[in-house]
Amino acid sequence: MNITEKFSLKGKIALVTGASYGIGFAIATAYAQAGATIVFNDINQELVDKGLKSYEEVGINAHGYVCDVTDEQKVNEFVSNVEKEIGVIDILVNNAGIIKRIPMLEMKAEDFRKVIDVDLNAPFIVSKAVIPGMIKKGHGKIINICSMMSELGRETVSAYAAAKGGLKMLTRNIASEYGEYNIQCNGIGPGYIETPQTAPLRTPEHPFNKFIISKTPAARWGTTEDLMGPAIFLASDASDFVNGHILYVDGGILAYIGKQPQ
């Protein structure tokens, strides 16, 4: 196989959860450009329709489904329908996620549970639904979208950090349990990326904006485009001996103590 073919996703079926926009949309777009058939879900028909229109605008004939990734029965029905209507999933990206920025002492337990449900329980549920098909097919790629908070804490994100830290270990456990079936499970740990999820932190007057740039050697916020190449690598044959790895795409944040105040 030549090196270009190693990075090709031609003939593969990729499911990216929560991919009507944001990081999921960018990763799905990259996969389509690399030859994959795109399947995505979102939490309601309005978002799915919005996503289908966005994919169509960039020339991608995606398949959209309404599915709340936290509902195990709905997820099993969703995956079974995809397998009947499109085919067995080769690549799964557990991208759907939420964050609640609340000081821990003010956070209700139900809010904590909701973040854990979407950001950690759902990747377990969706992976469990998809792995049997991958075993039958003899290969599979699972990519969990982790975070800087898989390694670091910060004020107000206790639930999110707990979920993303857990997702790092779920990634390693899936790699350990199913590696012998030629299934590779890895994570992508994006740094601070310009998406709706971080929009509240990026207003010019928000102190976090300057702070994160001082903590990033690349001295900029990341874009969803920065994630496209790493995502293709982890979904392609080029990473067949990479397993249980979290690939941080953070402009160097995790390597850097931060710029000395001038």
Residues that bind ligand NAP (CB under 6 A): 17-18, 20-24, 41-43, 47, 68-70, 95-98, 118, 145, 147, 190, 192-193, 195-198
Counting residues that bind ligand GCO (by CB under 6 A) gives: 14
In the complex, least distance from residue 1 CB atom to ligand NAP, rounded to whole angstroms: 31
Residue corresponding to tokens 């928000």:
206
What are the structure tokens assigned to 204, written together? 């010019």
CB-wise, 36 or 115, nearer to ligand NAP?
Answer: 115
In the complex, least distance from residue 238 CB atom to ligand GCO, rounded to whole angstroms: 24
Query: Judging by beta carbons within 10 Å of its beta carbon (0-12, 13-18, 19+), is residue 138 exposed, middle or buried?
Result: exposed
What are the structure tokens assigned to 3, written together? 């090196």
Residues 55 and 61: beta-carbon distance below 8 Å: yes
Query: What are the CA-CA distances from residue 54 to residues 20, 86, 146, 228, 243 (Å)?
Result: 8, 20, 25, 17, 32
Three-state DSSP state, 185: strand
Three-state DSSP state, 156: coil
What are the structure tokens assigned to 93, written together? 């990206």
Which are the catalytic amino acids?
Answer: 160
In the complex, least distance from residue 224 CB atom to ligand GCO, rounded to whole angstroms: 12
CB-wise, 37 or 94, nearer to ligand NAP?
Answer: 94
Please identify which residue in 147, 184, 216, 224 interacts with ligand GCO, judged by CB under 6 A: 147
Query: Judging by beta carbons within 10 Å of its beta carbon (0-12, 13-18, 19+), is residue 57 exposed, middle or buried?
Result: exposed
In the complex, least distance from residue 168 CB atom to ligand NAP, rounded to whole angstroms: 12
Q: Does 101 bind ligand GCO (CB under 6 A)?
A: yes
Span from 7-15, 79-87, 191-199, 227-235 in contact with ligand GCO (CB under 6 A): 191-199
Three-state DSSP state, 164: helix
Torsion angle of C-alpha atoms 233, 142, 159, 246, degrees rounded to 10: -40
In the complex, least distance from residue 94 CB atom to ligand GCO, rounded to whole angstroms: 14
H-helix or E-strand spanning residue 187: strand 183-190
Site string for ligand GCO, 13-42 (x = CB under 6 A): ------------------------------
- Alpha-carbon gap, residue 239 to 59, rounded angstroms: 27
Span from 14-22, 49-57, 186-194, 236-244 in contact with ligand GCO (CB under 6 A): 186-194
Sequence-distant (≥ 6) Cβ neighbours of residue 33 within 8 angstroms:
none
CB-wise, 26 or 34, nearer to ligand NAP?
Answer: 26
Site string for ligand GCO, 149-178 (x = CB under 6 A): x----x--x--x------------------
Rule CB under 6 A: which residues touch ligand GCO? 99, 101, 147-149, 154, 157, 160, 190-192, 197-198, 201
